[in-house]
Structure formats: C-alpha cells, structure tokens
Amino acid sequence: LWHAVTSGFAKRVGLLLDHGARFDDGVVLPYGEQRPLLALVGRSGDAALIQAFADHGHALPDLAPADALVAAANAGDQGSARGLVGRHPGLLTTARADLADTLRRAAARGALPTLRILLDLGINPGSDGERTALHEAAWHGQTEAIEILLAAGADPQAKDPA
C-alpha cells in the first residue's frame, strides 16, 4: 500500500483498500522521520489518492505546515505554497530536507509545476548529500525537468554521492 501511495497509483490503492489492506503503522521517510500513511496521502496533493481513501471512509488528518507546503507544491498550488511560507516564518528552513526530497521526487516523475514552485521558493537544486534533482531527472528521462533544473542553476558536473 505504501508503494502504491508514494507512486501515485490511485487505482491500486483503491483495490488494496477494497481487499482489506491495513495501514496502522507509520511510514519511515528517506530522511528518517516517521509519519502516518494518511499524512503521506495528504502530502501527495493527489486528488485521486485522497479520494480513494475518502471512498473507503478514511479522513485525512490536518497537515502540519511543512506537510501542507509539500501538499501545495505537489498539487501545483503556488498561491497556497506562498501563503504557507508567509504565515510560517522559518518554514523553508525547518523543512529543508523534506523539500529537497520533494524536489528530487518531482524531478524523477517530471512533475513540472511542483519543480517550478519549489525552485521559485528558493529550494536549492543542488545536493544535500543525496542524489541531486538533476540526477533524478536524468535517470528517469525527464528532459523538461532537466531543462528547468539547469536554468535554475543545477550543476551538470555534480557527482552522484552513491
């Protein structure tokens, strides 16, 4: 179920929920933080995923500001993203690792509105010790994402830390 959620496979999520998939445990994110699966659904900003859980009687929790910012970026909602940053001073600093991970994931899947929002908010397209967003875009063949990242100052000479 976690993989279907994080991959945006709403139909698979619905099928799994139809057949009793459970999601009581939290999910450990790449940078070690643990969150409930429903919080990840909310963070996705994916209306079809959110609807799949709603159709099965699962309400999403209220999102913390960092999660709401990720959700707004993933939904392509620049106004909400900017509003959250304006209402929560320091949000970009405290959510830096989370937003860098969101940028990498957006680059990998070619989510251009998400990339643009995060870059416009000043998220660094460079490395934070992980693969860069440019590495992810190149690995997944996302040519438009590569162009956007290069225009935003991503280093084409950066080395993959792995």
Block mean pLDDT (10 aa), the chain, length 162: 85 93 69 75 89 89 92 95 96 91 93 97 81 93 97 89 67
- Token pair for residue 62? 């209220």
Given a contact cutoff of 8 angstroms between Cβ atoms, the answer to whether 130 and 97 are in contact is: no
Residue-level pLDDT at 131: 82
Its pTM stands at 0.84
Say what angle helices 47-55 and 37-44 make with each other, to 10 degrees: 140
Tokens 């959510």 sit on residue = 95
Number of helices (H), then strands (E), in the chain: 11, 2
Q: How far is it, in rounded angstroms, from Cα 116 to Cα 148?
A: 8
CB-based contacts of 142, cutoff 8 Å, min separation 6: 107, 108, 109, 110, 136
Residue-level pLDDT at 98: 86
Q: How far is it, in rounded angstroms, from Cα 89 to Cα 154?
A: 26
Residue-level pLDDT at 26: 65
Please name the amino acid found at residue 79: G
Given a contact cutoff of 8 angstroms between Cβ atoms, the answer to whether 90 and 74 are in contact is: no
Residue-level pLDDT at 22: 81
Residue 35: strand, helix, or coil: strand
Residue-level pLDDT at 76: 95
